[in-house]
Each structure stands twice: as structure tokens, then as C-alpha cells.
Chains A and B, each alone.
Chain A
Amino acid sequence: MKKITDERLVLQNLKNIRIAYIIQTIGILGILGYDLVTKGLDGMRENPLWFVFMITTVISAYLSMNISADQESNKTNPQKSLTISLVVLILISTVVGFFVSITDGFTIVNGGIFGGILFICGLIPIIYIYNLRIKRQDENIEE
């Protein structure tokens, strides 16, 4: 097969892939929905398709940050948003960690681990979007 060089066909190809992706997603959701009804939530989570679905959702969320960082208004300072996000994240993970540690059957170590996991999971997207904003700011200055 020859490599497609025609820009119109490359574009058309991307559109076709998008349609296939939409159908695939509908199919995955249909199968997971069927599992949810017949086997319940835990049964659905055992299906490897659940993992595939979650990975795709996370990836598409990260990619759409690229777009939202370009679209948002320029007024907010990236450092300021980073600080606010970090404070909120620390607050949430501390509160969750605290409540986990006082729950029966969980120790303080469990609470620390829960809070720590929550903190790290929240930290990655915050740092990512911070870097995107900084990069975009640099691009604006160069103009």
C-alpha cells in the first residue's frame, strides 16, 4: 500500500477513524452496560473492557486539556491558579485521609496512604496543566 500524501485524503482518513472510534466507544459502553445490568458494578469492573474504557477516557481528558488551555482567557496567572489548585488538593486529601483514619477498621497509616494516593493522582494533572499554561504564555510573549 502506498502512503497517502494527498492532504484531502489524509483529512478524510482522520474523519473515518473518528467515526470508527465513536462506534467502538458505543460498543464498549453497550457491553459494559449489559454487564452492569446482569452482573452488577463489580462484575462490570472485572471486564477488561472497563480498563480499556478508563484508559481511553483518561487519555482523552489529558488531550482535551491541550485545547482548553488555549481557549481559556489570558487574565489568570498560571502561578496563582497552581497555588489555588494545590491548596484545594492538599485540603481535600487531608480531609479524606483524616476521615479514613478515624473510620473503624482503618489505621492512621491507611489514612495516610489514602490521602497520599489522592494527592499524587490530583497532582499530575495540575502540574500538566500548569506546564501547558506556562508554555502558552511563552508563545504569547514571543508574538
Chain B
Amino acid sequence: MENKVKIARTQVNLTQQQLADKVGVTRQTISLIEKGKYNPTLKLCLDICYAVNKTLDEVFWLERENDDK
């Protein structure tokens, strides 16, 4: 799952470790979320959004892919 956590985090001048401490997870988890390799719970998504002063939309919204499956 792609997201804009990394961009949002650098905009408020936080390191991965600082963001991790703010939302109460480990740095590795933040790193995996930024790489799109871990699917965070809604609760963690909200915590991240509060920490970077953005809405869920701005950080996690993805346009629906148009390829027919």
C-alpha cells in the first residue's frame, strides 16, 4: 500500500524515530509503513495523521485503480 507518510513526515521535520516515539511504535514499523510493506490499523493511521498535522485523506488516500480485474 502506497502512502505519503514519508513526505508528510519530512514536512514537519521529524525523523522516523521521532515519529515512532510520538505514535508509540518502533522505528522499524514506521519504515515498513513508508515502504508500503506493512498495512497499519486505522488507529495507527489516525495517530500518524495527528502527529504530522494532516488528515487521513492527505496521507493515506489512494485513487482507485482503473484496471479491470
Contacts and interface: CB of A to CB of B under 8 A. Distances in A.
Interface residues of B, number: 11
A6 B32 contact: no
Q: Is the interface of A mostly helix, strand, loop or mixed?
A: helix
B25 interface: yes
B29 to A, nearest CB: 5
Interface string A4-26: 01111100000000000000000
Contacts of A7: 25, 29, 40-41, 43-44
B40 A6 contact: no
Given A7-B40, A8-B25, A8-B32, 17 more contacts: A5-B24, A5-B25, A6-B24, A6-B25, A6-B26, A6-B29, A7-B25, A7-B29, A7-B41, A7-B43, A7-B44, A8-B26, A8-B28, A8-B29, A8-B40, A9-B26, A9-B29
Interface of B: 24-26, 28-29, 32, 38, 40-41, 43-44
